[in-house]
Structure 1
Amino acid sequence: MTQQTSTQNPALAALSAEGVSVWLDDLSRDLIRSGKLADLVATRSVVGVTTNPSIFQAALSKGHAYDEQIRELAAGGHDVDASILAVTTDDVRAACDVLAPVFEATGGLDGRVSIEVDPRLAHKTDATVQQALELWRIVDRPNLFIKIPATVAGLPAIARVVAEGVSVNVTLIFSVERYERVIESYLDGLTAAKAAGHDLSTIRSVASFFVSRVDTEIDARLEEIGTDQALNLRGKAGLANARLAYAAYRRAFEGGTRFEQLAAAGALPQRPLWASTGVKNPAYPDTLYVTELVAPNTVNTMPEKTLEAVADHGEVTGDTITARIGAAQQVFDALASVGVNLQDVFRKLEDEGVEKFVVSWKDLLAATKEQLAAHAPNAEG
């Protein structure tokens, strides 16, 4: 939680007071240089920032904020990959500096900025570890999170990176089953970090559990089934899935034997982070994945549109998760009973999630290559 002042928006301040850390799912050089990011910290209870390949692709494709740096990189003979690395890490480092006071005020809980490993490495463990450690070294800020996808290859990478004392944001989690494996990877990493002599109190982690995409995929399948029973389940899966994830978090970190042993050495819980919280179906309230996912020790990262919707008309009514975990299981039982293949849903969502980021990364590569060529016409691509 952040310390509130009279300038903070009441709805977002109320969300923060319930134990939900408000993070912004966006970053650009304009956002930093204009002072808008600092303003969101001051007026919207924002205490963290998440990025992904799609966000960087959008930022570099708009306006001229990056022209000068691209010109310098072209003159220096930097290739496309090196140029993207320089541009993205510079933005993240600058955002870390904006949020440094929050980091200090919260004892390292918040004030965090996330940067993701190249999505083309999502199924390559060793390469993911190598780049994660490289990003940690280049950005060189204690309030950084390295984002690693929760793919099968990502799970051992998470453990190995945490073992090096690096703070990790695990992304692209869609199922509770995979989330439980993510928790085990985090605990494996902490165990190794302890053995290596690292100060466990300096290692932080969040687990980014995607919400709206679950409803989008499952709603489509329910409409294809078409029965009244199926149609009545639309818009319920995403929240139910997240609530069951919160139950898994509590099992592991509130009384879990393995974590308690590590906590005695200074280890801290891996908080659930609700991601993909922008509502994609206009029939649903635009604050649905915020006001209905309120519980202590959680994070909600929101695109600015969702953040402003909550600020304008969000109604925070206290904890909307803990007492509804039993009902969430009933939703999943009902989904299975009408014929929704949940394993197939989660497998498809993970595959599509990785592919979407790869496509955005390739678009970013192509756009940057064009800009480098324009500033250095005689340089090789």
Structure 2
Amino acid sequence: MRNFVSDRARDIPPSGIRKFFDLALTMSDVISLGVGEPDFRTPWNICEAGIYSVEQGATSYTPNRGLQTLRRALAIHLANRYQLRYSPDDEMIITTGVSEGLDIAIRAIVNPGDEVLIAEPSYVSYAPCVALAGGIPVPVECTEQDHFRLNPDKLQEKITPKSKALIVNFPNNPTGAIMRKEDLEPIADIVTDRDLMLISDEVYSELTYESPHVAAATVKDLRERTITLNGFSKAYAMTGWRIGYLCAPKEICDAALKIHQYVMLCAPAMGQIGALEALRSAEDEKTSMISEYRLRRNSFVAGLNRIGLSCHVPEGAFYAFPSVKGTGLSDVEFAERLLREQRVAVVPGSVFGAGGEYHLRCAYAVSRDELTEALGRMESFINGL
């Protein structure tokens, strides 16, 4: 049957995150810091809205772009919170999670042979989605010395006549880094001067701790060159509801909509109704979850540094990204042995690109008690090396 598998499907690697998560599932007494998913339940008022919608028969297709009520509420939310202004009628698509939004955004603009620059470390699906669209992923390393922010000089070095777009994700998965306005401005100049499109994955935009999130499309002239991706999974603990959204200038949005129509048709109706309720009435619950993440971050990062794993303070998302260089092990060796010997699951940083080598992604989206226990096990592992 191998002859029937396409070259592109055969050549893309399986998810490095899932490899460790699946292995952990076969073991007992494992503390998993591996999967980037909130440990909170979806706020009840959101669940209730979804349940009621099913009871009332809202189980059919919605418009391809998504429910108009949701798009209008989202347009107001984006304008008020981020000063992002998009027309809900022709510059917005409700997608089946941000993952689908990323896929249709890439396929809407990439031709075979186009190069797509990716700020790395980055979420594991970016490069494979580019490759599946026939594009060529080109990593741009973000280093610890730059606090894992995108360095404009390093971006310039990677641009060629074939460069078509740049993908960024801030707040970042896996590093927790953010980009402030002053960091984005030189990137905006490069994107404009070198005639690139920008795909900005901002799914962690609500999860910032010191500085408010700056939407890339609000910086300088980027609005007409930016595809903004976002969703409800992380901020509202709605990962399984699969509701994201894509915002872009009309011509780009129309191209993405055609792909969406053929491969997805529409996002789940119940999920869209839940998302609408999230915008209407879940602000207090969201704020409470973010406050808890901040407490976890502060104690966990301090603990990592105490046990000898140097870790910068992440300013967004819910990931710590400590270095294991001082242990004499690679990130893969460290993660594999830590799981087998101490039953703590983390993700090797190298699965997120070369810039993640000798680091670990540790999701602090678990209880403080579990984080304390995980730190104790990690300390025992290090002391035993």
Q: Quickly name the TM-score band, shorter chain normalised.
A: 0.3 to 0.5
Q: Could you tell me the TM-score, scaled by structure 2's length?
A: 0.35
Q: Which has the higher contact order (CA 8 A, sep 6+)?
A: 2
Q: Please identify which structure carries the higher helix content.
A: 1
